[in-house]
């Protein structure tokens, strides 16, 4: 049974920036974004301010799980939810970052785990639509079909006039994320990715949205008294989307990219999560009975970060860095700056001559040479330069 870690959220966020950068580049090359870029400049105005948002996993481990940079007038909603009936994936992440003064939203959806088998006896006890070890029983489908028949009906059921205006397989996205990686010689693995663009009305406002996903399949043979049967655990994961009022989707690419590249997972949280998963799998715990039991399991985890967790964390970091480097030639919406306070590199929207930061981790960007955020402020703003 494939063990899915919420650490893949890090790859989700990175992939959002990469795929949006590529989409924006292709449209720019075909001359479709000149008016949109002008609209973006007007929309963003003379200055834009970003603030760090830190998500605390209050339901589970009780510490900061991740942080992300969002526009100061945008809102974060959602986070991490612990799923008590799935020992292989006991926590899922789903959240939105949205403009309260507009219709722009950046959304990450929860992974959707499934199970299928050609064992008719198992299917008679667990028919399609039921749950098997926390996974919905359902035959596998391809990425575009998964978006059209599962993701959209589940997460966009409250809109009107929905129609699909474009659909596209994205095998390069699955490859870039390392999806479908072989885990054992006896396990057959495959993966694919895709996206669809939809239009609909929400509260009387025409909207457009691009939704992405990856579908991964892990099939393995099982010896039974009746012979060999094949069980398949499969997932719709890396599900994310961008949405805005119709006609303004690409105009917000700089903001979406900045949010995407700022995501940072807390190493301490990641280590404890992995310990919980290992505990559940090793002891073959099929379902956590209560939040109280979950709390007791978490209390038994160590604050020490194992060498294996460190290695896993940094290996994934290196993979993501390589992916980002490979796509860097396409990234025209953001630029790299060095933050001397945080002592790190940060990606911020391009097109601004003056960029400032403070010890709260906030950033202000302005295209006015005379702008100084220290005037009338009790914070100490320091100007930062492009890396």
Evaluate if residue 230 carries a pLDDT over 90: yes
* Domain contains 103: yes
Which position has the higher pLDDT, 43 or 372? 372
Please report, for residues 21, 22, 245, 291, 324, the alpha-carbon distance to residue 28 in angstroms, rounded to integers and kept in the order given.
10, 10, 20, 50, 20
The pLDDT of residue 330 = 41
Q: 3-class DSSP state for residue 318? A: helix
Mean pLDDT over residues 314-319, rounded? 59
* Domain contains 35: yes
* Domain contains 67: yes
Q: Which of 49-53, 230-234, 369-373 is predicted with the least confidence, judged by mean pLDDT?
A: 369-373
365: left (phi > 0), else alpha (psi -120 to 50), else beta? beta
* Domain contains 294: no
Evaluate if residue 332 carries a pLDDT over 80: no
Residue 139's nearest CA partner among 110, 115, 122 is 115
Which position has the higher pLDDT, 1 or 353? 353
Compute the distance between CA of residue 2 and CA of residue 348 in angstroms, rounded to an integer: 37
Residue 220's nearest CA partner among 175, 193, 183 is 183
Q: Which of 30-34, 242-246, 279-283, 348-352 is predicted with the least confidence, judged by mean pLDDT?
A: 30-34
* Domain contains 326: no
**How many distinct structural domains can be found in the chain?**
1
Sheet holding 382-384, edge to edge: 264-265, 64-71, 47-56, 363-366, 354-357, 382-384
Residue-range definition of the domain harbouring residue 63: 8-282
* Domain contains 306: no
Q: Which of 17-26, 150-159, 195-204, 311-320 is predicted with the least confidence, judged by mean pLDDT?
A: 17-26
* Domain contains 379: no
Place of tokens 């403009």: 99
pLDDT 10s digits, 42-91: 443 478 999 999 999 998 999 999 999 999 999 999 999 988 777 778 88
* Domain contains 271: yes
Mean pLDDT (the chain) is 82
């Amino acid at each position: 049974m494939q063990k899915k870690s919420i650490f893949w959220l890090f790859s989700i966020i990175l992939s959002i920036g990469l795929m949006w950068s590529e989409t924006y580049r292709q449209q720019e090359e075909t001359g479709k974004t000149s008016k949109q870029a002008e609209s973006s400049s007007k929309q963003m105005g003379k200055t834009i301010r970003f603030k760090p948002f830190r998500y605390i996993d209050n339901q589970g481990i009780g510490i900061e799980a991740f942080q992300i940079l969002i526009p100061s007038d945008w809102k974060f909603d959602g986070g991490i939810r612990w799923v008590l009936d799935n020992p292989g994936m006991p926590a899922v992440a789903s959240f939105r970052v949205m403009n309260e003064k507009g219709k722009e939203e950046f959304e990450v959806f929860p992974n959707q785990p499934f199970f299928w088998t050609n064992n008719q006896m198992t299917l008679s006890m667990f028919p399609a639509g039921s749950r098997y070890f926390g996974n919905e029983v359902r035959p596998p489908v391809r990425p575009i079909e998964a978006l059209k028949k599962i993701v959209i009906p589940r997460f966009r059921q409250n809109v009107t006039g929905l129609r699909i205006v474009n659909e596209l397989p994205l095998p390069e996205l699955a490859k870039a994320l390392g999806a479908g990686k072989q885990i054992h010689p006896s396990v057959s693995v495959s993966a694919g990715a895709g996206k669809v663009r939809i239009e609909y009305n929400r509260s009387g406002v025409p909207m457009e949205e691009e939704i992405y996903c990856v579908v991964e399949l892990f099939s393995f043979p099982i010896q039974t008294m009746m012979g060999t049967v094949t069980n398949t655990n499969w997932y719709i994961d890396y599900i994310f989307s961008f949405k805005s009022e119709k006609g303004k989707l690409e105009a917000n690419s700089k903001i979406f990219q900045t949010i995407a590249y700022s995501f940072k997972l807390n190493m301490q949280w990641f280590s404890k999560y992995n310990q919980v998963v290992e505990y559940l799998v090793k002891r073959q715990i099929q379902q956590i009975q209560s939040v109280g039991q979950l709390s007791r399991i978490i209390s038994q985890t160590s604050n020490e970060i194992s060498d294996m967790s460190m290695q896993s964390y940094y290996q994934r970091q290196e993979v993501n860095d390589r992916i980002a480097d490979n796509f860097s030639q396409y990234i025209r919406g953001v630029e790299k700056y060095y933050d001397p306070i945080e002592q790190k590199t940060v990606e911020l929207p391009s097109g601004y001559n003056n960029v400032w930061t403070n010890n709260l981790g906030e950033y202000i960007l302005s295209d006015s040479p005379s702008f100084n955020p220290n005037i009338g402020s009790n914070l100490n703003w320091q100007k930062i330069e492009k890396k």
